[in-house]
Structure 1
Amino acid sequence: MNAVPAEPTPPVWRQRAIERSTRAATLRAEQRIERFLEAAQELIAAKGTTDFTVQEVVERSKQSLRSFYQHFDGKHELLLALFEDALGRSADEIRTATAPKKKPLERLRVAVHMLYEQSMPRPGRQSPLFTDFAMQLLGTHPEQVATAHVPLLDLFTELVEEAVESGDAHADKPRRAASLVMQTAMFTAQTPGVPSGSTSTQVSADEVWEFCRGGVTGRT
């Protein structure tokens, strides 16, 4: 049986040309996506809400509607991208802030405080973590919301595991404990507060931390 001849290797110059073309196309796509994201962020800052249209994003970005739909299925996917980006930045900021702390439990305390502050609604503008949109997504796109939270969950899992290894915390399932700590901080920050007579008192970051600390250490 005759051997099948091997495919000729493309000349080196052709490979370089193809690679340059691919890099250029990728860079252009990334720049277009970034302009759409920036336009959406500007609209959120201006309106204090995610109540805007795709057309408004297109006009502010100075790009075409066709280009928008080449990169996003619709507004929900654009907002998911913003949400995921915000969570990624949050994880990076918390990691940077906790790194200098020597004690694992202190690192976890700083992380809880920061996540709580980042999740609080801000009068007149959108919360950094798009909390109102996040609540809507929980009902409509739960799997994508879970995926978006992975960087934060990975970080909090590391912090809980470090506290367990140091003997300062007890958690048979560190990732599950980390998830509960995160949910406590994020969702408590979004509530109007605890009823106290005729008014409501906002739960503080210190109170949230003490509650979480008791959960992971078994001590109050």
Structure 2
Amino acid sequence: MAQKTELPVSTTKEEPAWKQRAVERSTRAAKIRAEQRVVQFLDAAQAIIAEKGSLDLTVQEVVDRSRQSLRSFYQHFSGKHELLLALFENALSESAEEIRAATETEPDPVGQLQIAVRLLFEQSHTDQARQRRPLFTDFAPQLLVSHPAEVRVAHAPLLTLITEMMTRAAEAGQLRTGLRPRRAAAMVMQTAMFLSQSNGVAASENAHPITVDEAWEFCFSGFAGPGAVTGSATSQA
């Protein structure tokens, strides 16, 4: 009768709890430092863009302004393009947060959409938007052609927020029959942003720029169903 050979039992040695805590603490500290360095680079780049009024900046200028090293920059960004993309994504994310906060007290879905369109449009007329304008008027169109996937990712927070509003409008019978909320949200978002961005390009004194009221009425007429009414008191405040 053949003897049964027992296979050795392999055991995985667990790291002591103190060592796991030390590693986690070290990783967390390194992450915080990395985030702080990234913010410094972004702030430096934003300041240079605001001063120049264009995207004509170099990596070295950003490094010098941030008072960090070139080595540190390339640890976080592959180059100028990725830095500008980070600024672009950050600007759109901030826009979504501003709109969400502004619409929290508006109960009517169409009222929420009106606030969203107005804010998207008017952002190009604020001091903060003027600092970001080259990102939208110069960088965004280039990015749309060369890196469409990155554009979709950057616009995701805004699109998600406006889709939520469109969905509530559809549930309330305020959306035109057959119009899908997400597609309607994409069209409204792109229309409002394009109109506001293009308004800043004309230099002629005789030009008649499109107003925020015109932009809203145009968007409203495109998605509104029979149950929708524009111009709630809250949304006009």
> Fold match, TM over 0.5?
yes
Instruction: Find the aligned partners of 1:87 and 1:125 in 2 and give their Cα distance.
Output: 14
Q: Which residue of 2 aligns with 1:135?
A: 141
Instruction: Show the counterpart of 2:221.
Output: 214
* Distance in 2 between residues matched to 1:144 and 1:137, nearest whole Å: 8
Aligned pairs for 1:38-57 (under 5 A) are 38-57=43-62
Q: 1:83 to 1:40 in 2, by over 3 A?
A: same
Q: CA deviation at 1:120?
A: 5.2
Alignment of 1:117 with 2:155, yes or no, is no
4+ long deviations beyond 6 Å? none
Measured in 2, the distance between the counterparts of 1:88 and 1:104 equals 21
CA 1:90–1:128: 2 relative to 1, 3 Å:
farther
Shift of 1:204: 0.8
- 2:108 maps to amino acid: K
Deviation string 1:46-82 (CA, Å, 9 cap, x unpaired) is: 1122211000000011111111111101001001001
Note closer, same or farther for the CA distance 1:109–1:47 as it changes in structure 2 (3 Å cut).
same
**Bigger relative contact order (CA 8 A; separation at least 6):** 2
Larger radius of gyration: 2
Runs of 5+ unmatched residues, structure 1: none
Q: How many residues align?
A: 216
- Whether 2:177 is the aligned partner of 1:167: answer no
Q: 1:6 aligns with which of 2, 11, 14?
A: 11
Per the normalisation by structure 1, the TM-score is 0.90
Partner of residue 58, structure 1: 63
- Provide Cα deviations, 1:110-167, integer angstroms capped at 9, x if missing partner: 1000001124597x94336821221221122211111100000000100111111111
Match of 1:74 in 2: 79
The root-mean-square deviation of aligned C-alpha atoms, in Å, is 2.3
Instruction: Check conservation: 1:87, 1:129, Cα contact below 8 A.
Output: no
Please give the secondary structure, in 1, of the residue aligned with 2:132.
coil
Deviation at 1:17, TM superposition (A): 1.0
Q: Distance in 1 between matches of 2:122 and 2:157?
A: 18
**Percent identical residues:** 55
CA 1:113–1:192 in structure 2 vs 1: closer, same or farther (change >3 Å)? closer
Task: Indicate the larger mover: 127-136 or 69-78.
Answer: 127-136
Contact 1:39 1:57 in 2 (8 A): yes
